[in-house]
Amino acid sequence: MYNPAFSHIYIEKEIITHPNTTRILSGFPGSRKIEIARYMDVFSRSGQDFVMQKRSPSLILAKKYDNFIYKGAPVCQDFGNHHFYYATLVMNCIYDCEYCFLQGMYPSANIVIFVNLEDYFSSVEKMLEKHPVYLCLSYDTDLMALEHKTGYVREWVSFAGQHQDLVIEVRTKSASIKAVKSLPPLENVILAWTLTPDTVQKNHEHNTPPLQQRISCIKEAVNRGFRVRICFDPLIYSKDWLSSFSEMVDTVFAEVPADRIIDAGLGVFRISRDYLKRMRKNRPGSAITQYPYEYDNGVYHYGRKLSGSMTESARDIISKYIPYEKIYIWKEAEGR
Ligand code: SF4
């Protein structure tokens, strides 16, 4: 009933001859190519069904004209970095996590790739003239999961290699050892893996690699000398979340040498009001979207008591392996 993913590729006329367009299209020889004026004509149409589109997304290649770099949002962790920014290189993700904020943010599940990386690079270089930059590249997508099609992580690692005051973080749930092997490990490049217990991955993170495969990829990255971060974020509540979480952390550090992990992130699930409204409509049967969250300051969360106890318990478990001062916590009370 459904077309395969990326059976249709929409390409803005303006960037049809851009080298990144040519390179990305070469990875989709059998797809139907359709020329369009602007990506919004397809991406922002009204009445789209996010969940249906997730089963068979189209690809859209576009040019970004402004806002190449954004200031880090308060609901995101800055890991102690003052000049914290993120870039949207791709909109949407090949994975399908039920808790993902993207389904509340975007009107479409189709994936938009901006091809004009050179404009992002110029924008970062202008910022670097004023101060160092900590830049997260994989917030509105999973960039590493698309690496075999885009090569964008490799391009950014190469750019970081020429700019010592730039630190980039690439966060992922992917498990492509091949992609990791293709990158040089640099001091100012952080590869960050998000890990969740098996039950969360199986039930709520559709299409993502299982925990064990992510662990194997982390081991490869560590062995190759990468700076690796582990993100236990979001923590998803269930009756047995604590035992699942504890078992996962023990499994991870039975295989990954903890002293080679630079730090860890920790945060309970939280989501803005407007996003949750749309997510609840999209997924009426999801225990995650339909949970009776508490609300304040524009954000839904588990409530201070439960969030606090989950955070403290999780931190105690992680601290068996990672020193307290290297565990960065998102605290809802402080909005950071
Ligand atoms: S991997 Fe991240 S970006 Fe992709 S669907 Fe899951 S939460 Fe969203």
For residue 336, what pLDDT is reported? 34
Whole-number Å distance, alpha carbon 17 to ligand 1 midpoint, is 30
Residue 271, strand partner residues = 300
The 10s digit of each residue's pLDDT in 101-138 is 999 999 999 999 999 999 999 999 999 999 999 999 99
Please indicate, yes or no, if residue 275 is contained in any of the structural domains.
yes
Residue 331, classified by CB atoms within 10 Å of its CB into exposed (0-12), middle (13-18) or buried (19+), is middle
Separation in Å, CA 97 to CA 51, 269, 270: 11, 12, 14
Q: Helices marked H in the chain — which ranges?
A: 19-25, 40-43, 50-55, 102-105, 117-128, 147-150, 152-161, 177-181, 198-204, 211-223, 241-255, 273-282, 304-318
DSSP of 239-288: TTHHHHHHHHHHHHHHHS-GGGEEEEEEEE-EEEHHHHHHHHHH-TT-TT
What letter represents residue 216's amino acid? S
For residue 335, what pLDDT is reported? 38
Whole-number Å distance, alpha carbon 71 to ligand 1 midpoint, is 20
Whole-number Å distance, alpha carbon 143 to ligand 1 midpoint, is 10
Q: Is the CB of 102 under 6 A from ligand 1?
A: yes
The verdict on pTM exceeding 0.85 is: yes
197 cis-preceded (ω within 30 degrees of 0): no
Can you read off the two tokens belonging to residue 150? 């885009």
The 10s digit of each residue's pLDDT in 243-297 is 999 999 999 999 999 999 999 999 999 999 999 999 999 999 999 999 999 999 8
Please indicate, yes or no, if residue 3 is contained in any of the structural domains.
no
Please indicate, yes or no, if residue 336 is contained in any of the structural domains.
no
To which residue do tokens 């590729």 refer? 9
Q: Averaged over 163-176, what is the pLDDT?
A: 97
Range of the domain at 110: 8-329
For ligand 1, mutation pick of 108, 142, 196 (most atoms within 8 Å of CB): 142
Please indicate, yes or no, if residue 86 is contained in any of the structural domains.
yes
Atom of ligand 1 nearest to the CA of 94: 4
Residue 85, strand partner residues = 71, 135
Please indicate, yes or no, if residue 266 is contained in any of the structural domains.
yes
For residue 330, what pLDDT is reported? 78
Number of independent structural domains in the chain: 1
To which residue do tokens 């982390």 refer? 218
pLDDT of 74 over the 90 cut: no
Please indicate, yes or no, if residue 270 is contained in any of the structural domains.
yes
Nearest to 201 by CA among 263, 312, 193, 148: 193
Please indicate, yes or no, if residue 224 is contained in any of the structural domains.
yes
Whichever domain contains 73, its CATH number is 3.80.30.30
Atom of ligand 1 nearest to the CA of 208: 1
Whole-number Å distance, alpha carbon 105 to ligand 1 midpoint, is 12
The DSSP element (H or E) to which 109 belongs, if any, is none
Please indicate, yes or no, if residue 2 is contained in any of the structural domains.
no
What letter represents residue 241's amino acid? W
